[in-house]
Structure formats: structure tokens, C-alpha cells
Structure 1
């Protein structure tokens, strides 16, 4: 094996090269407008790479792409990475408030926008070229098949992605992701989930969200087909599963609830889904049980991760039946610890901060050395870099992790230690409660539950009292038509908190 081959094996563009060599004519990616084989995806990625080069974009430059779940995203991604360009995916749903921070922070030499409104917005925030996606596509078409420009030698340690966190708790910050840890994480996840070459993988979560983005890499490693859908098509989500024969469905809770609602109205045989995965925000046990009822041939694999290392743990499919509440074991070749406030490992069963070590740790935060030093710390004994996640949980004796929540989600009330996740899970066990979010006591407000249900607040609290000890029953319940969501589909608790502080969310 040559040195060049070794390098390619540890770079993201090397993943695509391997897939093309193995299955050039197999379907690679499909969206509402059509599909590409692996050979076609490779050819389009080369065309976009040549277009970047012709425009003077080179190694180490940042390109911000504010486009949705379309095939062009995948070609832009691989086209940039094969030329050593740093790709910065941004959700089209990101508002000006956060974009005004993100754009100057990543300092892109070019921005690609989905539509005219996006172009106008981005041009107000930068003096760099903002290119409509349609123009970028036309530019790539002119380069298609030309092969004028040669690929450069991309190194595993080269920066590949800047992935901005959602900003739900603070201003967005970018996780600097080199090729090597991206590839390691993708391969380690694939080793646990075992996507197959005959799989059809749905990407309904945004590709700008690392959960969606890595579906591209996982599908490429397996040689599977990726089906892309946009948020405005989620009401037809079940139809897409039937139409394309989807076998793998990555879910966040909002998508899971949508799918279950659609399945209740559907009289057809269930689609051929064999695996649901979940991360980003946890599916509760009642939701998982309803998925198994509606899709009896499907297994469920809960996972836990953070953008700073992509994935922390993966539970084997249906492993929750034996270990309810677990989010799995550490990826092979990595280590998960639970630490006390002094950074010392805690014994099994004891709640502490979740920390991570391994080759999947990203480089830190882009141009934010102080924030990087707070989260990526050397172990006091070994000096090995350890990611302190800010999340809390405990390990069992066999190394399976159980997530308890973030620091703000864990609290004592009336002398009893508890977490919001436990309260939300109990609320979702109540027939008629479709979604729930609990807010810990803060800012003069006691423990509060927000629920999507036709039940009265008193009825919800009364049924919670049958499921939880008295100290864990919220002081108040607000009934909503829907929970507010972040662009990545997580419950927007910051918005709920702001509305709570401003006054009642809605008269009960």
C-alpha cells in the first residue's frame, strides 16, 4: 500500500473514493429532484472542486454553505474536502441573530446560499462573494468532466469541517473537525450500527446538524443509498419511507412524534424500516415502545454524543430491552468516564460529569482558545486530553452509560435529587400527552412542566402524582399546542424559559 493510499484512507474524501471503487453504479444519494450513483456523486464533487479552484478558493479557506438537504450539498461537501477547503455547513433556518456571529467568526472566502432571500441576508453580513446555489450548480456544470485541476494531497490532520453548535444555550461556536477524527468517528459508529450496502438511509434531520451530516459518511462507508428530505416535507415523511423503501431512520424526538402521528392514520403495511437510531435529544421509553408497535420489524438504537467528539456511546440495536435507559457503551478504541467535581473517576452507579477520551476528539473550538481549554483538558495523571462534556450521568458495572442531563437539568427539590428527563419520561407515560418539557426551578419559578395534550393541567399533575414521588411532581403545568423547537429539532428550553419569565405561556 502506498503512502498516498494510506493518507486517503484517513481522509473524508478517501471514504468516497473507496465507495466509488467498490460500487460505482450503486445509488448513492437521492433528493426530491432525482438521484446520483456513487460514480455520479464523485464526478459532481470533482466538478465542484474544479469550480472552487477556478474561483481561487484553496487549501485552508473556509466556504460557508447555507443550503438544505439536497444532493448538491453532498457534492459541495466532498468537492471542498478533496481540495483541502474547510466546509462550514449552516442551517437555512438559522436566523440573522446567530448568523451575524457565525459569518464573521468563520471568515469565509465564499458563501453559498440556497435562495434569493438567503443571498440578500448573507450579503448584508459580509463583503465576501455570496453565490446562489443555482449559480454554483451552473459553474460546476461548466467544469463537469473537464478534470483541468488536480486534487491536492489532503492530510488526515488537515481541518475539514467547522460545525457550529445550535446556540440554544449561548452564542454558536464552531467545533474544529480535522479529517482523521471525523473518519475515526464515522467508522466506529458504523462498526456498532452496521449499515448495509442494501440499506436506504433517510436524512430528514438537517445536514448542517452533525447527526444529519454523518449520515452521508455512514452511508458512503456502507455503500448504502441516502435519501434526503426537507423540513417542509415532514408531513409526508411516512410516504417517503414507503416510496423509497427506507430501512434506516435517524430520529430526534420531534421527528419520532411526527412519524407516530402519521403511522396512526395509515392503513398500509408498515414500510421496511429495520433500524431507528436516536441522538441529539433522547427518545423516551414510551415513544420507543410506540415505535416498536407501529414498526414491528424495526430495532431501536439509542446513542449519545456531542459535536466535540461526534459520538460518545452507541447502544446495540434493541439493547434498551435489557438495559432500559442506557445510551450504550463507548465506541471501540475510546473511553468514557464519569468524574466528580475534582476530575476524579467515580464508581459505577454514581452520577457525575461525563468525560471522553479517544481518537474521535476534535481539535477544539475555532479561534476560541479559552473555551477550548475549559472543555478539552489534560488528565492530571496521564496528560491525555479529556473532553469534559458538561453532561451528567452514570455508568453501570459493565460500562454502559445512563444519561441524566446537563448541569442545569439536575437539581435538588425538597431535599430530593432529580432531573428533568425523569419527569418528562413520566409525563409521556400519561395517555394523551404527546410531548413534554420540564424546566428546573430557577429565576423565582418552581419546577414547571410544559405539555402538549388535550388534558387539563390538573389532570396531568394528578397522573404525574401517581407515577412520581411527591417532591418530583411539578408545581405547575402549562398546556401548549406544540413545544418550540431549535432548528435541529430539539426542544427549545431557552425559549420556554424566556416565555416563562415573561409571564404565562398560555392561559390554562
Structure 2
């Protein structure tokens, strides 16, 4: 089914129910639907054609959520761009997807002005507000005002039409536009809402950016179900977020490890502090075992769903909550209605316990990278049936005798030191087991003697803990060839636009500091 049709159905059947809460704005399904209808009509009046790309460059606001569904109603394709994106990257994305329109906020217009040095800027529809820019823009407020003589839209599209382009973070090069159809989105959302036991009664609070695949699906899944989504801009003030969760009786809370790390520093969180919470989800990066234990202690009645995925297929695996204490380091099993398996460099299955590249097959697999057939062909290859394409993820995992999968690392991240191959994840797991270490990222940096030196960037709870203490701890818990030779303690770890720890940026910091360390 086309995604916008879920909204239309709920607006007709349960129109007075709250669909979206952002700040002081509360929209019912009927109001949400009416605003998307008006904006879709406006887009068509601006000559947006079926299949055109329309970019949404906004923070977590009701206008961004409205824009997603309006673009789909117009038969077009939406692309969300993180509001923290710099001008050069924004220009690259605009050049790549050649949008017909750009929807934004007045406060972000200066970035668009700068991006003009890198790309042609399409017509802009902007939410009103203070701005240093003098750019002439169409009014978003006017665009979402229903016209009395308008008729209901029927765009004629079907579910195999392209619905969205989601750009990868670009951590290994230029961002790539992941192409997802309505059918792709619906298949992934159906699997996820099924395993989470979601219903229309759920109230989900998300602080994750809508431009982040994980954050976007909170909106898509809530509308599919007829549930309520509370959209916050960030987790900068966690106590305020928790107060809101109690007031709104929130049942679902999607997090990333950065958020659980912040929660672990809050001394006043006691068991049951979120009494209505039914489930917590995690993806983007695996939850460290100490984080799992902490969440189990402070939210004893909530089920914790640890998941693993990537933009190219939304989600790959999930760990059933009843198994999280038995196999806390596992990323679990394949999603319902999908399959994962592991292969070696020749494409042959690997034995139980051996690391292999994860391959994903199912209706959640992307159609390819926009305007990039070479990169598409590299990861999408013929599968078990001649008519299907399967996704070669570049992720190394291993499987235990019970069929549960464990993340080992990215193929490109494996450190080759002293003639041995070291997965950063194994070293990070040991670092996280130290009670004073909050976050850690491990990377290999060039070394004349070692090939690559194993280095670590960490944040701690204890100012007395030093690099020698951490290396000593690693020697007690790791084989000799896996022990970091250099540890750098930082106030915070570098992150991508989506809030994930950036191994690439961490490696750059570590390489620079390691060179200085060697020169001393």
C-alpha cells in the first residue's frame, strides 16, 4: 500500500485522535491530513511532477512531518536533510537529486545561501521566522492553508513507485541516496510494528532527527498504525523529556547508545520512573552490556528491543526481549519476512562461529543508490532466485549454534596489526566493561612497525582514570595482540549528523595524536 493512504484512512475513521505532538502544537489525524492535502495541492500548483524529488531541510517540527506526507500525496519523492548539514554537503545532495522544490525554515536560509556556491538552488518554501537571508521564498504558512474550492487529490501512483531518498552519512565517502519504494517502507514497517506488538494505543516519543532513518520510521510507523507520535528536537535536556513522557503516558521510547550513556550519568533515575513505558528500542549502534543492565534496572516493566540495521534495508536483525539477558551481545535474528546469511570473500557460506559478510534478502532491501549504478551493482547482486537482488552489507558477523548473530565489524574497519586481524568491536566491548568508561571507539592508525596500531578514544566518569590504567585493564582482559598501544581520553566523542559515534573522525583524531605521541 502507498504510505499516504494509511493517513487518509485514519483521518476518515479516527479523525479526532491525536496524531502528532510537537512543542505546543497538537494535531489530530483529521488536521494532519488536511494540512498535508493543502500542501500537496500547493506543490502541484508549483509544477511538481510525479516522481520529482522534493527536499525537506528542517529540524524536528510539525512542518517537516506534514511535508513528508504532502510530498507523497503529490506523487513525488521526499528527501530529508539534517538541519546541521553544512553548505557544501547540502549543495552536493541538491546536485545529486536535482529537486523541484526545497522546503525549509527561515533560520536555515543562510546555509542555503552558502550552498548556492556548490549547487543551483530550486524554488524555496520557507516557514516564517527571523533570518539573515534576503532570499525570496514562498510561504509555508500559505502553502498549508486549505483552499475552499480544492478537490481531494488522487495521484494515481502505486506502491512500487519511489517514495524516498535517504542519504547515507557519507562516513566512507560522498553520501549516497538510498532509493526506497512505498512497498519497501511498508514491508519494513509491517515487520517492525509486528515484532514490537505496536497498536493504535501506543504513544511514542522520539528525539531522533527525522533525517535519520531510525527517527523517520517513528513517524512512518506511527501513522501506519494510527498511533500518536511526540516529536522532540533533541535529548539535550533529558529530565524535561522524562517529565513530558510521564505527562503524556508514553509507551514507546526509541534510543541510541549515546542517550543511554547520558541516562547512566543521572543519579536520580529510580526503578519505574517511567511508569507507562512498555518498550524501548535501540539501533544505529549496539547497546553495550552495561547499558542494558542499567535500562533493565530503571525500566523493569519495559521490554528492551536491541536491533541492528543499515539505511539500505532499514533493519536487519532484532533480539527478542526475553533473550537480552541470555545473549546481551547478540544482534539477534532476521526480521520477520526477511532472511540474513553469512558468506566468505568467495560468496560461500561460512561455518557456525566464523565471521562472514552479512547478506540480506527481503522486501525491505533498497532499489539501489540514486544516480549511482556502479555503487548499486557493488552491493546489490543476484540472489538465490534469478529475479531478485540481495544486499551485500559489508558488515562482518558470526552466528552461534542457536542461530543468533553477533556483530564483528565493518569489513573496512578491521585492524591489521602485527599480522593479526583485530575487530574493533571486540576491543570496544572490553572497554565498555570498565565501570568508569562511558563511551569508547577503537580504530587502527598507520604505524611503520605494526602496520596498524590499535588505538582507542574514550570518555570516562572518573577524572583520576588515565590512559595507563585503561591499557592495563585491557591487558588483563584481551589477548596481547588486541591491546591498544595508545589511548586518548576526551570530553566527548566525534559524531555524525545523526548522532552516531563517527569511527572515521575518531580515527583522524587518533592518528594525529598518535603521531605526536611517537615524536615525543
> TM over 0.5, yes or no?
yes
Whether the aligned pair in 1 keeps the contact of 2:271 and 2:300 (CA below 8 Å) is no
- Looking at structure 2, the residues matched to 145 and 485 of structure 1 have their Cα atoms a distance apart, in angstroms, of 47
* Gap regions ≥5 residues in structure 1: 1-9
- Give the structure 1 partner of residue 497 of structure 2: 487
Match of 1:89 among 52, 63, 80: 80
2:187 corresponds to: 184
Q: SS at the partner of 1:188?
A: helix
Q: Is the 8 A contact 1:335 1:356 kept in 2?
A: yes
Q: Would the alpha carbon gap of residues 83 and 141 (structure 1) be closer, same or farther in structure 2, given more than 3 Å must change?
A: closer
Which residue is 2:135 aligned to? none
1:126 aligned to which of 120, 130, 134: 120
- The question of 1:282 aligning with 2:286 is answered yes
Q: Provide the residue aligned with 1:317 in structure 2.
A: 321
How many residues are aligned here?
498
CA distance in 1, matches of 2:192, 2:58: 26
**Partner residue of 2:338 out of 334, 340, 343:** 334
Which stretch shows the higher mean deviation, 142-151 or 88-97?
Answer: 142-151
Q: Per-residue displacement from partner, 1:31-80 (whole Å, max 9, x unpaired)?
A: 11311111211111111111111222121111111111111112111111
Q: Write the deviation string for residues 298-342 of structure 1: whole angstroms up to 9, x where unpaired.
A: 221111111111111122224222323221221222110101111
Q: How does 1:42-441 map onto structure 2 within 5 Å?
A: 42-114=33-105, 115=107, 116-124=109-117, 125-134=119-128, 136-143=139-146, 146-148=149-151, 150-231=153-234, 233-235=236-238, 236-262=240-266, 264-266=267-269, 270-271=273-274, 272-379=276-383, 382=386, 384-414=388-418, 417-441=421-445
Following superposition, the deviation at residue 386 of structure 1 comes to 1.2
The one-character-per-residue Cα deviations of 1:356-397 (angstroms, maximum 9, x if unpaired) are 111111110001001100000113774531110000102234
- Aligned-residue offset at 1:441: 4.6
Q: Give 3-state SS (helix, strand or coil) of 2:5's partner.
A: helix
Pairing partner for 1:447 from 435, 454, 457 = 454
Alpha-carbon shift at residue 505 of structure 1 (Å): 10
Q: Structure 2 vs 1, CA of residues 440 and 339 (structure 1 numbering), >3 Å: closer, same or farther?
A: same
Give per-residue Cα distances to partners, 1:127-163, cap 9 Å, x unaligned.
Answer: 3112212354312343356534622112111111010
Task: Write the distance in 1 (CA, Å) between the matches of 2:298 and 2:241.
Answer: 14
Q: Which residue of 2 aligns with 1:5?
A: none
Quick check: 2:318–2:331 contact (8 Å CA) kept in 1? yes
Distance in structure 2 (CA, Å) of the matches to 1:252 and 1:136: 35
CA–CA distance in structure 1, aligned partners of residues 44 and 139 of structure 2: 13
- Kept in 2: contact 1:408–1:440 (CA 8 A): no
Distance 1:359 1:189, change over 3 A: same
Classify the secondary structure of the residue corresponding to 1:15. Answer: helix
In the aligned structure 2, how far is the partner of 1:179 from the partner of 1:285? 36
Aligned partners of 2:455 and 2:510 also within 8 Å: no
> Cα RMSD over matched residues?
2.3
Greater mean alpha carbon deviation, residues 441-450 or residues 294-303: 441-450
Q: Is the 8 A contact 2:272 2:300 kept in 1?
A: no
Alignment correspondent of 1:14: 5
**Do the aligned partners of 1:412 and 1:418 also contact (CA within 8 Å) in 2?**
yes
Superposed CA offset, 1:174-232 (max 9, x none) = 00111111111111111111223222212211101110001112212332211111137
Shift of 1:267: 6.7
Task: Determine if contact 1:27/1:37 at 8 Å carries over to the other structure.
Answer: yes
Q: SS at 1:446's partner residue? A: strand
The whole-number CA distance in structure 2 between the counterparts of 1:145 and 1:186 is 35
Change (3 A) 1:359 1:495: same
What TM-score does the superposition give when structure 2 sets the normalisation length? 0.90
In structure 2, what is the Cα distance between the partners aligned to 1:505 and 1:288? 36
The runs of at least 4 consecutive aligned structure 1 residues that moved more than 6 Å come to 505-508
Residues 380 and 35 (structure 1 numbering): CA distance in 2 closer, same or farther, change over 3 Å?
closer
Cα separation, partners in 2 of 1:422 and 1:69, compared to 1, 3 Å: same
Q: Deviations over 1:384-443 (max 9, x none)?
A: 311100001022344322111101333454565431112112111111111111113546
Change (3 A) 1:334 1:347: same
The question of whether the paired residues in 1 share the 8 Å contact of 2:352 and 2:399 is answered with yes
In structure 1, the residue matched to 2:131 is: none
Contact 2:417–2:453, Cα closer than 8 Å, also in 1: no
Identify the range of structure 1 (169-178 vs 51-60) with the bigger mean alpha-carbon deviation: 51-60
TM-score (norm 1): 0.92
